[in-house]
Amino acid sequence: MPARNRPQSNAMLYTLITFVGLFIIATTVAVIYYVKFEEQRTVINQSKRDLGEMVNRSEWQNKGKIIGTRQVPETWLGTVVDYLDKLVIQIIGGPSIDTSAEEKVNTVNKTIENTLQMLAQEYLDIDTIDPNTTGLIQIIEKLKTKLDNTTNAALALEKQLEDLHNRFNDAMEAGHQTEQKLLAEKKEYEQQVNNIKQQYNELEAFLKKNTEQQVQDLIAQLNQAKAEGDRLETEMRQMGARLSVAQQRIAHLQKQIHATMPSPDPNVPAYQPDGKIILIDNQIVHLNIGRDDRVYRGLTFTVYDRGMPIPKDGRGKAEIEVFDVQKNISAARIVYSEKRNPIVGDDIVANLIWDSHKTNLFMIAGEFDLNSDGDIDYDAIEKIKALIEKWGGKVTDTVSVDTDFLVLGRPPQVPGKPTLEQREEDPMAMQKHEASLQKLAHYNQVKSQAQALWVPVFNTERFLHFIGYKAQARRPGAF
């Protein structure tokens, strides 16, 4: 090679070597970055899969609405765990267990189940409750209702016990006074007997010293004194018998205190008479209640035998309707009466709706056949409501502690679930079926609430008997 061309060749060689070296370095760096990129992409894909298992896109976008406020510096998952721990603490009343959410929920469920089992063993009248379907609030409300009923019953029993204690104390005081009086009389009689014995001994000694006549006179006096002593002894025995009777009465009252007292009868208000018959004039009767007692024309009453309790079914011997009202008396015509058991003076009258001192509160539920024709009256509840309001009562839509009486008809009829063909023929068939189910559920709920609150329940016939309207109910336009 000529000398003039050698430097140029070396420069090209150096350039080529440099290019190759740079290419190798760039290729190595690219490979390293590619490997790192693949590792990062693998990590990102795995993170996406892990995140997808924990939360979907919709849940992640609405995490603020689902979880709430995030507790800084907690993560969203940490915030959920923190809220779960607070809920567990509020339910079981202790520090949260450091374990999985599944174990925490299982622990809460087990605690609730054990608590309910303990309540069922302690209080046998508590129904079996499933917290997974009922909810703690509903359980607490149901237990509160039972507690309120138990508390009310306990208060009523305490009142009865207090009354019985007062009666017992009065009887004890009267018995003590009688006992003291009898003991004083007994001591007085004993003193008289001792005086007579002393006189007898003195007379006996005196007889030995006097004549035969004196002896006879003294013997007569002695016999008289003995008779008086016998009389006093008889009176003492009678006083002792009276004392024994008083002690037996005291013992009987003591037994009554410790005896089990029955639950109060919720139907007692229905068995209270409102007045009585003071005069009978053919088919007209006169009552001892009038305008001052809030009596008005058109008011009906059922008549019951005097001196007898009102029957549980409310059926009386006659029904009357007031047509004339004075200040303190009123006149009524006899609508119906039993021929074998006519009305007599001092017979009592009653009407469940009407009250001279208060306004009774009624609840109406169910289906009714008011005229007994075998068909359900679609507007029966409105008719009964109008009748109650006409006679001074009020009607409420719910059963509460203020409800005085429940008028309960037949359970609503629930037809069978409609088939596909029936639904095609009648598009409203399924809605009608569901509406009937809701009516039946409401009926059963009202009935259960009335039983829980001890509200007296009356069916149609019993209700009409108690208001003196049974005989008129079948007449056209009766309601």
pLDDT digits (tens, 9 = 90+) for 343-401: 999 999 988 777 777 788 999 999 988 877 788 888 888 988 988 888 788 999 989 88
Length of the chain: 479
- pLDDT for the residue 333: 93
- pLDDT for the residue 331: 95
CA distance 195 to 204: 14
Model confidence, pTM = 0.41
Structure tokens at 347: 């017979």
- pLDDT for the residue 215: 59
Residue indicated by tokens 């450091």: 98
- pLDDT for the residue 395: 92
- pLDDT for the residue 143: 75
Q: At a CB cut-off of 8 Å and minimum separation 6, what does 58 contact?
A: none
Structure tokens at 363: 């609840």
pLDDT < 70: residue spans in the chain? 1-9, 48, 50-55, 59-61, 63, 66-67, 71, 76, 94-97, 120-136, 203-204, 206-215, 218, 243, 246-247, 250-271, 473, 476-479
CA distance 287 to 302: 12
- pLDDT for the residue 263: 46
- pLDDT for the residue 13: 84
- pLDDT for the residue 278: 92
- pLDDT for the residue 262: 47
Q: At a CB cut-off of 8 Å and minimum separation 6, what does 112 contact?
A: 91, 131, 136
Q: At a CB cut-off of 8 Å and minimum separation 6, what does 203 contact?
A: 218, 221, 222
